Amino acid sequence: MAGDFYDYARIFVQAGDGGDGAATFRREKYVPRGGPDGGDGGRGGHIYLVADPGLNTLLPFRERTRFVAERGGNGGRSRKHGRNGRDVFIRVPVGTVARTIIDGETYTVDLDAPGLQLLAARGGRGGLGNVHFATSSYQVPRIAELGEPGERREIELELKLLADVGLVGFPNAGKSTLLSVISAARPKIAPYPFTTLQPNLGVVEVGDYSFVVADIPGLIEGAHRGVGLGFSFLRHIERTRLLIHIIDAAGVDGRDPVSDFHAINEELRLYQPELAQRPQIVALNKADLPAAQANLSRLRQALPLPDHDVFVISAATREGVDALLQRVAGRLKEMPAPHRAPRDETLTWPVPDVDERQYTIERTSDGWRVRGRKIERLISMTNFAQPDAIMRIQRVLEASGISAALQEAGIQNGDTVYIEKAAFEWEDGEITYLMPGVR
């Protein structure tokens, strides 16, 4: 987009890893065999997107596209809990749509109210200290968890303006001129196509009622495919409740006004069928020109709208503009207004809940691949440098049924089992670690 308007961005966010748990033991005077006292690691910092009514562009993301939250602190002796990592809050304009891919599926969240937050990336949980692993038969646990890795996401941000009324029409139909005379907006105006290269918003007052009007880049044929400024226009009228369809009744560019009307509506239909059904009021503009006066009778007969939704105006002289605005205000009052009051609410990606204990086993060309949230998390948080780590994994594989499932699937001695980023050799139901640690 030209100027300082920026309505699309792609960012990368990385939540903080959790801190590591500690594997320590009490060292107290007169207590020769102190028990485990290692504390837990702190949670990694979350990353949030926050809808800020003070912003109206995604321009800041042209320069900065990477956001990383702080790692959680490590646990310490005497059950000392590690400090949680600081959260990161990324401010975006109200009306921003966030989109990401999780496990091959695309998920979308609409930040369409001031104050809404999206937990975009969750910080990793802190690793457990060795105090959690002591039992009556295992009194000296030499094991503690690593912190869980924080979530990483590539996120698309798309800004869709929050306006009540959208001005549609071909370039040079007079949209910018109309906005300039009905509001305090001062869009750039010149007699050539694509004068408007960025959306302009104006607040219009009719008596004690006000509404927001968006003048957005003009459409041309093929706009639904992105020709010209097509997508830049169309995404911003998706939220509007009413369209003012402005037609150059004089055909000053040599165009036929009736053909223009049908062409614009066809572009709306091809982009999003519901848009073509959005309520429209037609403004036959440039009535101050003789050519427009000569066309008015034909236009009124050709347009498939009732007379009370067709207005003859001149944005340049303001002729007929007040009557048009009265009709627009009346129509808006009849429609349900969108809920845009501030909302102190935190949203999450709408990922369906799954049983974390579920797992799958797949035969690969070089071994066996085990997948499942719980078992993969365990591997990612295992410190393989600790002597008791493999023993713990062995117990979990047996208790979860994974060992039995591998045997039922036909695993043989010497086969390799892959879980997350680790590999193990299988021998008579027991595993031997083969690869370096996860991190």
- Sequence-separated (6 or more) residues with CB below 8 Å from residue 301: none
Report the alpha-carbon distance of residue 148 to residue 185 in Å, rounded. Answer: 51
d(CA 162, CA 339): 11
Instruction: Tell me how far apart the alpha carbons of residues 130 and 345 are, in angstroms, rounded to a whole number.
Output: 37
For residue 210, what are its two tokens?
A: 């006000």
Please report the pLDDT score of residue 339 as a whole number. Answer: 60
Q: Which residues, 6+ apart, have CB-to-CB distance to 333 below 8 Å? A: 209
What residues are paired with 8 via a beta bridge? 158
The model carries a pTM of 0.72
pLDDT at res. 273: 81
Distance CA 366, CA 423 (A): 11
- The one-letter amino acid at 359: Y
Query: What gap in Å lies between CA 199 and CA 167, rounded to an integer?
Result: 10
Which candidate, 318, 49, 298, places its Cα nearest to that of 174? 318
Residue 163 class from Cβ within 10 Å (0-12 exposed, 13-18 middle, 19+ buried)?
buried
pLDDT along the chain (439 residues), means of 10: 62 98 82 80 98 85 95 96 98 94 95 94 97 85 95 94 84 85 60 47 84 70 41 67 93 86 86 84 94 91 87 94 96 79 90 93 96 96 92 95 96 96 94 66
- Residue 264 confidence (pLDDT): 86
**82: three-class secondary structure by DSSP:** coil
CB contact at 8 A, 110 and 340: no
Task: Please give the sequence-ordered ranges of beta strands (E in DSSP) within 114-151, or none if there are none.
Answer: 117-121
What is the predicted pLDDT for the residue at 321? 95
Backbone conformation region of residue 264, classed left if phi is above 0, alpha if psi is from -120 to 50, else beta = alpha
Per the listing, tokens 């340049």 go with 316
Separation of alpha carbons 47 and 67, rounded Å: 8
Residue 365 pLDDT: 93
